[in-house]
A = this chain, B = another copy of it.
Amino acid sequence: MERVERILNGDVRAAARLIRDIDDGVASCRDVLKVLYPHTGKAYVIGISGFPGVGKSTLVDQMIHAYRAAGKTLGVVAVDPTSPFSGGAILGDRVRMQRHGTDPGVFIRSLATRGHFGGLSRSTHGVIDVMDAMGKDVVLVETVGVGQDEVDIVTTAHTTIIALIPGMGDDIQAIKAGILEVADIFVINKADREGLEKTVNDLKTMLDMNRQRAENNSWRPPIVPTIALHGHGVRELMSEIDRHRAFLFGQGAKHLKAHLRAKALRELKDMVVEMVAGRIIRGLEESGRVEAVLDDLVEKRTDPFTLCDKIVKDGIRTYFRGDS
């Protein structure tokens, strides 16, 4: 396919179009991604997540700057399901990244996928693969929040960074289980704010208590204070990323293998969900019967369990006839 050739040669317009189609859930993307797949796996993928207001975009901007200074090319995926902008064209108010807008070594896209099954993480996998196949050295993935979706997304990265700010003591308690499991590096941004020491100590205590992690994995997540706005701590962050990368390709090789398998399993699951459940539900939606079905449910003339059985049965007969 000419399209594939162009993407493999790093053509920005071809890649941007494919990414927009992925975000829009266009079915034909599947064939292109399938051909691109053997060309993926070369980029180093870094995920960064955290609640709004911790300064993720500024951190990402500094990381882009540092990698560019080292001669590396980058793909950047900003995943923001709450963004009003669709289709990867607009980065919203991420103004600080605009200074890289004219740098051909940086390719920035924003995803807004909503409502598909496994849609957000499925799309993100696809977009990372496109940037990887384009030949980018590093792919940065930025997500907002620390929910299950975001965790699923950032853990597809080789190195997962969780960004916090000082004074989140109680809040860390609330989210500790999730973030302790996934973080390879903690950044405490806005480190000049009150409460840095307490936040660092709270994190350390939690890491100490998390024995299970220590047993499964000899990597202990470092805690890096930064003031990204002024570039403080960015060198330390980059050096910790390098250290983690060296770990993965050295003594952590077993860990890397487990990571790649977990990533492959998640990707496969998302794909099965999208393929089979997605097709059945789109079929229902296109059948024109949805309104009547919903009325039956709301009026309790039927129950969703009985209905689900029927929809699945009909759907399989209709959409997977040749397969069964």
| Residues in A lying within 8 Å of B, measured CB to CB | 30, 33-34, 37-38, 41, 51-53, 80-84, 93, 114, 117-118, 120, 144-150, 168, 170-171, 173-179, 257, 260-261, 264-265, 267-269, 271-273, 275-277, 280-281, 290, 293-295, 297-298, 300, 303-309, 311-313, 315-317, 320-321, 323-324
Measured CA separation A320–B277 after assembly (Å):
13
Contacts of A307 in B (CB 8 A): 268
Q: Are A53 and B170 in contact (CB under 8 A)?
A: yes
Say whether, besides A146-B82, A147-B81, A304 and B37 are in contact (CB < 8 Å): yes
A214 to chain B, nearest CB (A): 16
Residue among B168, B311, B323 making CB contact with A272, cutoff 8 Å: B311
How many copies of the chain does the oligomer comprise?
Answer: 2
Contact B149 A149 (CB under 8 A): yes
- Identify the closest chain B residue to A210 (Cβ): B84
Closest residue to A53 on the B side, CB-wise?
A: B171
Q: How far is the CA of A59 from the CA of B38 in the complex (A)?
A: 52
Q: Knowing that A82-B177, A117-B269, A145-B146 touch, tell me 9 more A-B residue pairs with CB under 8 angstroms.
A: A81-B147, A147-B149, A149-B149, A261-B297, A265-B294, A267-B297, A269-B281, A312-B320, A324-B324
Q: A312-B275, A320-B324 are in contact. Are A298 and B260 (CB under 8 A)?
A: yes
Instruction: Knowing A146-B82, A149-B149, A297-B264 are in contact, say whether A308-B272 is a contact too (CB < 8 A).
Output: yes
Of A118, A269, A309, A311, the most chain B CB neighbours within 10 A belong to A269
4 interchain residue pairs of minimum CB distance? A147-B147, A82-B178, A52-B171, A53-B171
- CB pair B300–A41 under 8 Å, yes or no, is yes
Residues of B within 8 A of A179 (CB): 82
